[in-house]
Each structure stands twice: as structure tokens, then as C-alpha cells.
Structure 1
């Protein structure tokens, strides 16, 4: 089964998407299952992982309700306030839902670059381990040394880096990002998503600009730790679902490797 391991739904009138402003006109509207389903059918994609887009428990509840009604949504990555004193109890409550597979604090938007290393967050990370949940690391390149320290502190925490840590492709910055990703791949068991790269490449960017970054991720993580995702509908700011799907497949030519990157690894990581 092909899995799209990173997609979003939202409804604007819910009012908790602080980042989703009218300036992002192409995606400043509602997106639901009926919008995505034709793309999945066209490419034989049998399931998705639905990922949070707002830092609220209300949105996580909304996504879990959608997942219950939508057969192709195989899992939900939600949100919990890791700073709350009752975070472990909240994680336990959410983990009881059969489609809750992971959690994602929106680290890229947090002013404190060392936030993930705060000692008072350890109970939340330990609760994730107890409930067999995956930590989606929404990080930027500057966070990667901190992520290495976090994973050394919690070696049993199952983790995946979203969007290849959003390398600054549009500015041609490669070496420091590549070194940090190599260190993470060699020193930890973290996985990585092959997603979001075209969005980071800038307007009009094509395969040539993204290819070195994708090749580095594949070389370091290999098919058993690399997971394809669309990041739809954010993807549509850069290209179409079809274009990214075909481009990503071109980065993984071996049929057995494709089975892993485009489904098998996601199934294993998220316990789908």
C-alpha cells in the first residue's frame, strides 16, 4: 500500500490557525477529505497520515473526528501542550483513540530554540514512549543539534523529522544542514520525511534544485528510515500533488526501496 505520510485538513472558521493568513491566498480556504481523495485515487494511494496544523487540543479532536469518518486516514499526528502539568494525562487520553499515532509540537514557531530540551517537558516525552507514539519533529536546521541532544536523553522515543528539517534550498545552503542530518542519521534511530522540499526551494524551482537534498537524505537514512509525504495542501504553494509525487518517485528508482519509502516505512514507524 502506498501511504502519504504527511497531509493536512483544515476549516478556517475554527479560528485557531494563526499562521494561515490571507497572504497565503491559494490555501486560505477549507480543505477536507473530498478535496484530497481524487489525488489519492489517481495514484493508487491507499492511506494517509493526517498531521496537525494548529497548536490546540480542539484541532486534534477535530482531526480525530475526521479520521473516524474517513477510511483512508490511517493515523493522526496531533498536538498536546507539553508544558502543561497534566500533559502525561492528556497524552494518555488521546492515545486511547485508535487513530492517534503521534504528536507534534510546532517547534519551528517557538521563540526559544532550546525549548525541546527544557527539563519540565520530559514527562510528556516519557508519556509518548509509554503510549508508543511517534514524535514528529517540526524543526529547522538550527534545531538539529538540540534534536540530537533530545534523542540522546530519550533514546526510546520514536521520532521522525518533518520536511527534511526544512533546508534553506532557496538560498543554496547545504553543507551545515547536510552535516547535521548525517550526524543525526548515524547517532540516532530517527527517521526523516521526504516532504516539503519544493516549498523550501522557492518559486519556480524544479527537480534540479531539490535533487541534491533528496539524494543526501536517501544516502544517510536509506529506505528503511525515509518516508514520503505530500504536505498537501501546503504543497500547492509550490507545485501540484501529481508533480511532487512523480518527482519524489524519480528520486527512488529501485522498486523495493520505493515500497519502503512510499509506504512500508510509514506503516512501521506509525504502527499503522
Structure 2
């Protein structure tokens, strides 16, 4: 079973989705399960994890609604305010929703480089493990130092780094990102998604060969049992199409054993998110 561990849905609203700039104009429209279902049939994908694209409680309800109508949505990574005094009530509520597997905050958008280490935020994170919730880490490379300190605090919490922490592929920067990713990978409760790569390269001219060193580092550091495939659809459409994204990963791992390939393309996500 091939599971896409990272994709999004939205009803496009210019104000809400202001992060979609002029260079990404191709995704300034609605993207819903009927669109993705067609893409998945063409690419032999059996299920997905839908990840929040808006930091509101309403986003969770939107995704739950879609998952109730479309069985191929196997899990949801939602959003809650982990700093809120009402967090416990929300976590209790979502612990009864079998499709909600975990949460994410758009840390890459926070001006404070150490946002992830703030006591009010880490207090919220400390409540996830006992309820079986995962946590997706969305950061830029310059925030990885804080991420390393962060994961050290929670050795039993299931974490996954989204989009390989968005290395600056377009600019060719590698070493600083690589050093910190290797350190973070030493913590065995941390997984990594090979996703969002083509949009960190040049949208128009990227070639697989310039992305391969970053993928190689991730596979060497995390091992094949803690890496999972994700498309980042529909964001990936600004730099390619679904087939190209999938092929980038499947061709890279084609020399691995059958079991390792199965893990990367589905089984690791099933295990991590308890799908």
C-alpha cells in the first residue's frame, strides 16, 4: 500500500492563503478530495495523510468533514494552540476522533527563531504523548538548532520533520543543514518526510541530480525505517506534477530491498501515524 504522508486541501481565499505568492499563482484555486482522487488513481496511491494548511480549529473540522466522505484520507494532522489554557479540552475532544493523528504549527513562519523552545509551547507538547498524538515539525534550516534542543526534551514523543526541514536547494547550501539534521536524527523518536523538495529547488529548472545529495543525507542519517514519502500536493504543482514528485523518490530508492521500499512508500507512515 502506497501512502502519501503529506498533502493539503483548501477552499482558496486570498487573505487566508496569503502565503501563496505570485510565483505560486498556479495553486490559487480550490483543491479538494475529488481532484486528488483522480491524481491518486493515475499514480497508484492508496491513501494519504491530510495536513493542516490553516491555523484554526475550523481547519480540523474541515478536514474531518472531508475524511468522513472520502475513505482514502487515512489520517489528519490538525492544529491546536499548544500555548492555550483551553488546550486540555481540545486534546480530549480530538482524542475521540480516530482520524486525527497529530498536530502541527507553522513554526517556519514565527519571527522568533527559538519559538519552539518557549515554555508555554513545550508545556503543550508535553501533553501529546500520553494521548498518542504525533507532532509534525515544520521549520527552515536556520531553526534546526532550536529543533535539536527541542527533541532532546521529549525522548518518547513521536516527531516527524516535514519537507526535510526545507534545505536551501536552490542556493546550493548544504553543510549547516546537514550537520544539524545528522544530530537530530540520532534521536530515534524523530522521523523525516522526503517531501516538498522540488519547491525548495528552482521551480523551472530543477533536476533530480541537485536534490539527490539532500535525500542521501536524510536516508543515511535517519535510515530507511524512519523516512516516509510525501508529495506536498498541491504545493508541488508550482514546480512540477505528481508523477515527477513520486518518481523522484521511487527512482532514488529503487536499489533498496523490497521491504525498505515498501516502508518508505507507505509502511513507515502507517506505523508512525497509526493509520
Residue 241 of structure 1: how far off its partner (Å)? 0.2
2:227 corresponds to:
226
Change (3 A) 1:104 1:85: same
Residue 270 of structure 2 is aligned with which of 252, 267, 270? 267
Between the aligned partners of 1:64 and 1:14, the Cα distance in structure 2 is 23
TM-score in terms of structure 2 length = 0.95
Between the aligned partners of 1:115 and 1:11, the Cα distance in structure 2 is 29
Residue 256 of structure 1 is aligned with which of 244, 252, 259? 259
Between the aligned partners of 2:71 and 2:142, the Cα distance in structure 1 is 37
TM-score in terms of structure 1 length = 0.96
Q: How many residues align?
A: 272
| Per-residue Cα deviation, 1:11-62 (whole angstroms, up to 9, x for no partner) | 0249633423565310000000111112211222111000000111111210
Contact preservation (8 Å) 2:151, 2:184: no
2:66 corresponds to:
66
Between the aligned partners of 2:106 and 2:191, the Cα distance in structure 1 is 18
1:198 corresponds to:
198
Instruction: Give the alignment of 1:1-272 within 5 angstroms.
Output: 1-13=1-13, 16-21=16-21, 24-203=24-203, 204-253=205-254, 254=256, 255-272=258-275
Structure 2 unaligned blocks of 5 or more: none
Change (3 A) 1:114 1:211: same
Residue 85 of structure 1: how far off its partner (Å)? 1.0
Between the aligned partners of 2:79 and 2:15, the Cα distance in structure 1 is 16
CA RMSD after TM alignment? 1.4
Structure 1 unaligned blocks of 5 or more: none
Between the aligned partners of 1:230 and 1:266, the Cα distance in structure 2 is 13
Between the aligned partners of 2:116 and 2:247, the Cα distance in structure 1 is 35
Contact preservation (8 Å) 1:194, 1:226: yes
99-108 or 83-92, larger mean C-alpha shift: 83-92
202-211 or 103-112, larger mean C-alpha shift: 202-211
Between the aligned partners of 1:24 and 1:170, the Cα distance in structure 2 is 16
| Per-residue Cα deviation, 1:118-161 (whole angstroms, up to 9, x for no partner) | 11123311221121111000011111121111111111211000
